[in-house]
A = this chain, B = another copy of it.
Amino acid sequence: MKVMLVILDGMGDRPSGALRGGTPLEAANTPNMDYLAENGINGIMDPIAPGIRAGSDTAHLSLLGYNPYEVYTGRGPFEAAGENIELKPGDIAFRCNFSTVDETMNVIDRRAGRIRESTHKLAEVLNGMEIEGTRIIFKESVEHRAVLVLRGEGLSPRITDADPHRLGPINEVRALEKGAEKTAHIVNTFVRKSYEVLKKHPVNIERRKKGLPPANIVLPRGAGMVPHLKSIGEKYGITAGAIAGVSIVKGVCRLVGMEILEVEGAKGSAESDFAAKVRAGIKYLDSGDMVLINIKAPDLFGHDGDPAGKRAIIEKIDEAMKPLKEILDDAIVAITADHSTPCNVMDHSGDPVPLLIAGSGVRTDSVSDFGERSAPKGGLCRVRGNDLLNILLQLAGLSEKFGA
């Protein structure tokens, strides 16, 4: 059998007064997920460990069988991998903003007027530089965002951000431990060079003419070292693909050796074509052993504190889940979340997430609907995200026996 793992990003929530005391998932009409819950086994899952507020990156690592405490030093590498940059273990990667500074290096717009166009032209002139023997890889991402990778000897991710995260003077990057001074110096040099090169770039001359803030500096943040990772294929002996709209999830999946499946209409937003993602996932299972589908939208409504919107998008997602009912003879289907993003917290919380697993042969329980408060009554009780893949692979008959 195959494994279909659907991760509804940030779906877990808390009871909401606006939804008569229900969570968005509980309040939503979700006949397809309820069918899977009723015909499957249910429980709650701590993506990393009870009470730990997981990020999407650390949670996906954990759900894919990696220990984020061992392999995660920052968001940068996963963001960069999500932008198709070929990374090597030991590379230091950063998220960056194109920002606007005045002549005294005061940030006056952290997002350079949310510049959308021609950032690839700006990136071009920065990419490929070398600073004191360290190679600079730089690539634009969506809107005002970009990624920076440093490749060379003696680099460390233990440095502060250049981005001040507010208006005012840019941060001088500092080493957070002995041995990180070189990296801090290189990043400071890169930031200065980005200003020198970008302030007179034709794209910015054009922006000034139009009265738009120039994207005249690059401010890196979130340094992380690309970890040595045994691929998911080596670890579990499977071929695995991933479908995700957002680059950080793509990046995690790419770095663990999953094939990234590009799906038309997968946007990482509420407008994403959920049904197309599910169709593409099912199709991938013709050849692959396992597919992960990440649907970002619930997380966005959680961050926005919009329970009614979250309920509505969950109902829309549920419609897209309908074809999963037809593959239960051939695949173990799991639906869960990477973390909770309660609308009343407007950020990730450490609450466990509901988990359902359905498919031929799976033990069932008396739970008949998919929800935060029905799930813990189910047969899975409470599990950890790090155990999920082992649970799914053994149900699919895809794992090895340990012992005799």
Residues of chain B within 8 A (CB-CB) of A364 are 15, 373
Kindly specify which of A109-117, A149-157, A275-283, A379-387 makes contact with the partner chain: A379-387
**Is residue A348 within 8 Å, beta carbon to beta carbon, of the partner chain?**
yes
Q: How many copies does the complex hold?
A: 2
Kindly specify which of A52-60, A129-137, A212-220 makes contact with the partner chain: A52-60
**Is residue A250 within 8 Å, beta carbon to beta carbon, of the partner chain?**
no
Asked whether A376 lies within 8 Å of B387 as measured between CB atoms, the reply is: no
Complex Cα distance, B56 from A7, in Å, reads: 34
A–B Cβ pairs within 8 angstroms, 9 of them: A50-B383, A50-B387, A51-B387, A52-B394, A53-B401, A54-B403, A57-B403, A58-B404, A345-B361
Complex Cα distance, B401 from A222, in Å, reads: 14
Contact of A373 among B351, B379, B401 (CB under 8 A): B379
Residues of chain B within 8 A (CB-CB) of A72 are 402-403
Residues of chain B within 8 A (CB-CB) of A222 are 404
**Is residue A68 within 8 Å, beta carbon to beta carbon, of the partner chain?**
yes
Count class of interface residues, chain A = 35 or more
Residues of chain B within 8 A (CB-CB) of A399 are 51, 53, 350
**Cβ-closest 10 pairs across A and B:** A55-B403, A51-B390, A350-B394, A58-B403, A381-B382, A51-B391, A50-B387, A75-B404, A55-B404, A53-B401
Complex Cα distance, B378 from A345, in Å, reads: 23
Asked whether A350 lies within 8 Å of B391 as measured between CB atoms, the reply is: yes
User: Could you tell me which residues of chain A, from 361 to 399, have a CB within 8 Å of some CB in chain B?
Assistant: 361-365, 372-373, 376-384, 387-395, 397, 399
**Other contacts beyond A50-B390, A52-B390, A382-B383: 18, CB < 8 A:** A14-B362, A23-B363, A44-B379, A49-B387, A50-B387, A51-B392, A51-B394, A53-B401, A54-B403, A55-B404, A57-B404, A59-B403, A68-B403, A75-B403, A348-B401, A349-B395, A350-B394, A376-B378
